[in-house]
A and B are shown apart, each in its own frame.
Chain A
């Protein structure tokens, strides 16, 4: 199977300052790719470019082999690209159920959406009438993931899933992500905390100052390089 998501030589800027200097990356169906790197490396921008939310100065964005550079992010979302942003993006004043029902724009019925969400995350079913803002961080992240799944994604883009969560919760969430990938979804995860994601990743890429410095299987060598990167010592 060819890559479902591919970035070729992507350059992108914020306020005229180039933050991505030719990023090359690809994710196949059923594959989990971890995009790692320190704060400010350009990971989130890469994800936003992949979702069509941030324009690329140059380079190409390919989805399912088709060049979709410059396409409307809404069209990409309708086709099956789902971005779960950092900070979860749930509506805090709406109940869990109402948050899920916002996904009916995809054409799915309310019952289907609730079945998907509660089937995958039974904890949400018990809190369906509770305001999303009063859920724990882990439950909010579950809700964000459930909403993403309700869109029937083919490409799932996750930004800092572990942000502010206990390691045990993160491990459970990543188990779910691995399960989602096994169903044929291409998953690209941006993470600052490498240990959390490398357990499920099939492939990892390290971004430093807007460049992919190294990518490959998340083996010992890559972990050593990451340690060096974060701790500032030679591997």
Chain B
């Protein structure tokens, strides 16, 4: 596989690899982030529920305010956890879905252009549907 310039595939391979950016493996700990997201979601919900119980079982306004703060913290944790979980669980699926969508669109465009090419533009008949 030698190109016109005399460059072999192996040469191009070495060249492409030299330009390859290798990310820090620690930055790509998808599973870890996924688990953290799920844990935060569950923990946040549990926290919110327990905060409700805390504030409900006391008449002391200070304790009730603690419960409020705890509940808000729980909700915030759930939101962050859900965001993390979605980010790392759905991206793989969505990437494939998008590839499939663009492929289907390309096929559709091909069919339409083939149909237009077949249709005689000088004819008065409408294009077949």
Chain A interface (Cβ < 8 Å from any Cβ of B): 1, 4, 29, 55, 63-66, 68, 70-72, 75, 78-80, 101-102, 104-105, 152, 154-155, 183-186
Question: Is residue B13 within 8 Å, beta carbon to beta carbon, of the partner chain?
Answer: yes
- Which chain A residue shows the least CB distance to B15? A64
- Size range of the interface on B? 20 to 34
Q: With A101-B103, A105-B99, A183-B1 in contact, is A66–B18 under 8 Å at CB? A: yes
Counting chain A CB atoms within 10 Å of each CB, the highest count among B8, B10, B21, B22 belongs to B10
* Docked pose: A35 CA to B46 CA in angstroms: 52
B16 near A80 (CB under 8 angstroms)? yes
> B57 interface residue, CB < 8 Å from A?
no
Q: Nearest-CB distance from B4 to chain A (Å)?
A: 15
B99 touches A154 (CB 8 A): no
Q: Pick the contact of A79 from B2, B16, B103 — CB < 8 Å?
A: B16
CA distance A42 to B29 in the complex (A): 25
For B103, the chain A residues whose CB sits under 8 A away are: 101-102, 104
Is B14's CB under 8 angstroms from A64's CB? yes
* Distance of A71 Cα from B17 Cα, bound (Å): 11
Contacts A102-B103, A184-B1; A75 near B20 (Cβ below 8 A): yes
CB < 8 Å A-B pair total: 67
Shortest CB-to-CB span from B122 to chain A, Å, is 29
How near does chain A come to B25, taking the closest CB pair, in angstroms?
Answer: 4
Q: A64-B17, A79-B17 in contact; A4/B10 too (CB < 8 A)?
A: yes
- By a CB distance below 8 angstroms, the chain A residues around B28 are 72
Q: B17 contacts which chain A residues (CB < 8 A)?
A: 63-64, 66, 68, 79
Within 8 A of A (CB), among B1-35: 1-2, 8-10, 12-14, 16-18, 20-25, 28
Q: Cβ of A154 and Cβ of B12 under 8 Å apart?
A: yes
Interchain residue pairs A-B with the least CB separation, the first 3: A154-B13, A64-B14, A70-B25
Complex contact B9–A185 (CB within 8 A) = yes
Interface contacts beyond A72-B23, A80-B16, A185-B9: sample of 15 additional A-B pairs, CB < 8 Å, sorted by A:
A4-B13, A4-B14, A29-B10, A55-B25, A63-B13, A64-B10, A66-B20, A68-B20, A68-B22, A72-B28, A75-B21, A79-B13, A79-B20, A102-B103, A184-B10
- State the Cβ distance, A224 to closest chain B Cβ, in Å: 34
| Chain B contacts for A155, CB-based, 8 A | 13
Chain B residues in 8 Å Cβ range of A152: 1, 9
Closest chain B residue to A183 by CB distance? B1
- Bound Cα distance A105, B102 (Å): 11
Assembly CA distance A155 to B9 (angstroms): 10
Q: How far is the CB of B89 from chain A (nearest CB, A)?
A: 18
Q: How many Å from the CB of A3 to the closest CB on chain B?
A: 10
